[in-house]
């Protein structure tokens, strides 16, 4: 009995110990579980905080990016607008500087047509009807068309009847010049043919009036046709002297313009009248040799000592005449003379459309 009671006590003791160990283990397990949960909660909080911070940072970055993007877009738009304005301005400036629309018959630009008609009238080229100028009405009809053609022909321009840029400049409707051409005072230059006389021409800067060393072109117009042209180099003062020696007798318009690109001056015109000139004519004395051979000779020079190279000379001796061409200032006729009765002979320059005729007497010795 005692042994059974002892065993029973031992079993109870063991059960109590086991129960206490189980409770302790449960507490430890519970503690462990609570710790893990706490760590998970802390980790979750940290993750949420980090995510939140990242989101906020991203929002800030996005905002900054958006601001920068907006700024960049604004700059681009502004730049594009400025660029577009620059293009428009450049285009407008370009048109202002270089574009002139040719005005033709039937033009509806009445204001421009009136300017043209007034300019034609001022230049004395607007047509008249019964000694009265036609009305300034802004209508580019047949009379205005004919007036423009008349003006272009007189100024040595291409005759079209349309007012292009060159015609508009000559009419002084537009002015793009940067230089000024000045001619010797007086509208008319009247000299004898091949006289060597000249009129002065000068070109200066429009900005300060200083002379320009450049090239002047002179066109000679007769009856609306360009007869001849010459080039003249100006000195440091912009001056040279126009010598129309190559022109035959007649009336011309000398149109003086600048022949160098980049220098733009409104051409100036002067009426040039060339008249017949007289020459110096000299007959050589004839020495008759033993076999009666003789040389009739005459020398011909202009007043400026240039040699005459045109026309004919008539030699007359003992009633006989011989006509010889003038070459390089001399006329010569070789003869075999028999029974010469006269002691002199005559030399007559027969004259040309440019040179007056003249006669002299030579001796036979």
How far apart (Å, rounded) are the C-alpha atoms in residues 107 and 235? 45
Give tens-digit pLDDT for 126-159: 877 666 677 889 999 988 999 999 999 888 889 9
How far CA 349 is from CA of 167, 221, 285, 287, 307, in Å, comes to 46, 30, 17, 22, 14
Query: Who contacts 250 (Cβ-Cβ below 8 Å, separation ≥6)?
Result: 222, 273, 274
Query: Who contacts 350 (Cβ-Cβ below 8 Å, separation ≥6)?
Result: 311, 312, 313, 314, 323, 357
To which H or E segment does residue 294 belong? strand 293-301
What value, to the nearest 5°, has the Cα angle with vertex 316 and ends 314 and 320?
115
Give tens-digit pLDDT for 284-328: 988 766 556 778 899 999 988 999 999 999 999 888 899 999 999
* pTM of the predicted structure, to 2 decimals: 0.57
SS3 category, 164: coil
Please report, for the chain, how many H helices and E strands are present, in that order: 4, 17
Q: Answer yes or no: is pLDDT of 64 > 70.
A: no
Q: What are phi and psi of 350, to 5 degrees?
A: -75, -10
How far apart (Å, rounded) are the C-alpha atoms in residues 219 and 242? 11
Give tens-digit pLDDT for 214-240: 999 999 999 888 899 999 999 999 999
pLDDT of 107 reads 92
Q: Answer yes or no: is pLDDT of 110 > 90.
A: yes
Q: Answer yes or no: is pLDDT of 67 > 50.
A: no
What value, to the nearest 5°, has the Cα angle with vertex 190 and ends 189 and 192?
135
> Residue 4 has which token pair?
């059974």
Q: Which residues pair with 360 in a beta bridge?
A: 347
Please compute, for residue 5, the number of CA atoms within 13 A of its CA located in the half-sphere on the CB side.
2
pLDDT of 18 reads 54
SS3 category, 43: helix
Please compute, for residue 37, the number of CA atoms within 13 A of its CA located in the half-sphere on the CB side.
6
Among the listed ranges 6-20, 37-51, 210-224, 339-353, which one has the minimum average pLDDT value? 37-51
Please classify residue 243 by burial: count the beta carbons closer than 10 Å to its beta carbon, then call 0-12 exposed, 13-18 middle and 19+ buried.
Answer: middle
Q: Answer yes or no: is pLDDT of 356 > 90.
A: yes
What value, to the nearest 5°, has the Cα angle with vertex 285 and ends 283 and 287?
145
pLDDT of 138 reads 92
Mean pLDDT of 254-274: 92
The band of 72, judged by pLDDT with boundaries at 50, 70 and 90, is very low
> Residue 256 has which token pair?
């003086």
Name the packing angle between helices 142-155 and 110-122 (round to 10°). 50
Q: What are phi and psi of 179, to 5 degrees?
A: -145, 165
Q: Answer yes or no: is pLDDT of 102 > 70.
A: yes
Mean pLDDT of the chain: 78
Q: Answer yes or no: is pLDDT of 84 > 50.
A: no
Torsion of CA 190, 196, 201, 202, to 10 degrees: -150
% residues pLDDT > 70 (the chain): 70
Q: Answer yes or no: is pLDDT of 259 > 60.
A: yes
Answer with the residue of higher pLDDT: 88 or 339. 339
pLDDT of 181 reads 96
Under 8 Å between Cβ of 352 and 311: yes
């Amino acid at each position: 009995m005692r042994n059974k009671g002892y065993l029973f006590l031992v079993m109870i003791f063991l059960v109590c110990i086991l129960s206490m160990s189980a409770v302790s283990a449960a507490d430890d397990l519970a503690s462990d579980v609570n710790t893990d949960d706490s760590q998970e909660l802390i980790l979750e909080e940290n993750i949420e905080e980090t995510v939140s911070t990242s989101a906020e940072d991203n929002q800030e970055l996005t905002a900054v990016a958006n601001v920068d993007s907006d700024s960049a877009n604004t700059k681009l738009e502004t730049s594009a607008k400025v660029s577009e304005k620059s293009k428009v301005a450049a285009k407008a400036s370009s048109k202002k500087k270089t574009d002139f629309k040719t005005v033709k018959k039937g033009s509806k630009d009445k204001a421009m047509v009136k300017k043209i008609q007034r300019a034609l009238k001022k230049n004395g080229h607007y047509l008249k009807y019964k000694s009265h100028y036609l009305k300034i009405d802004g209508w580019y009809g047949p009379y205005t068309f004919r007036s423009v053609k008349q003006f272009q022909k007189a100024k040595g321009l291409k005759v079209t009847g349309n007012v292009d840029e060159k015609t508009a400049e000559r009419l002084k409707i537009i002015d793009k010049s940067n230089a000024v051409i000045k001619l010797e005072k007086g509208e008319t230059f009247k000299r004898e043919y091949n006289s060597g006389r000249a009129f002065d021409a000068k070109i200066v800067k429009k900005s300060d009036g200083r002379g320009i060393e450049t090239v002047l072109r002179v066109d000679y117009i007769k009856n609306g046709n360009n007869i001849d042209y010459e080039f003249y180099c100006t000195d440091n003062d912009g001056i040279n002297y126009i010598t129309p020696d190559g022109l035959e007798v007649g009336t011309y318009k000398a149109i003086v313009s600048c022949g160098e690109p980049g220098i733009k001056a409104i051409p100036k015109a002067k009426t040039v009248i060339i008249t017949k000139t007289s020459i110096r004519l000299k007959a050589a004395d004839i020495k008759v040799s033993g076999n009666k051979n003789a040389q009739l000779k005459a020398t011909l020079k202009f007043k400026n000592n240039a040699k005459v190279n045109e026309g004919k000379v008539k030699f007359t001796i003992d009633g006989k005449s011989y006509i010889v061409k003038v070459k390089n200032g001399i006329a010569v006729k070789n003869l075999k003379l028999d029974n010469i009765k006269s002691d002199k002979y005559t030399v007559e320059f027969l004259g040309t459309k440019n040179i007056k005729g003249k006669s002299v007497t030579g001796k036979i010795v």
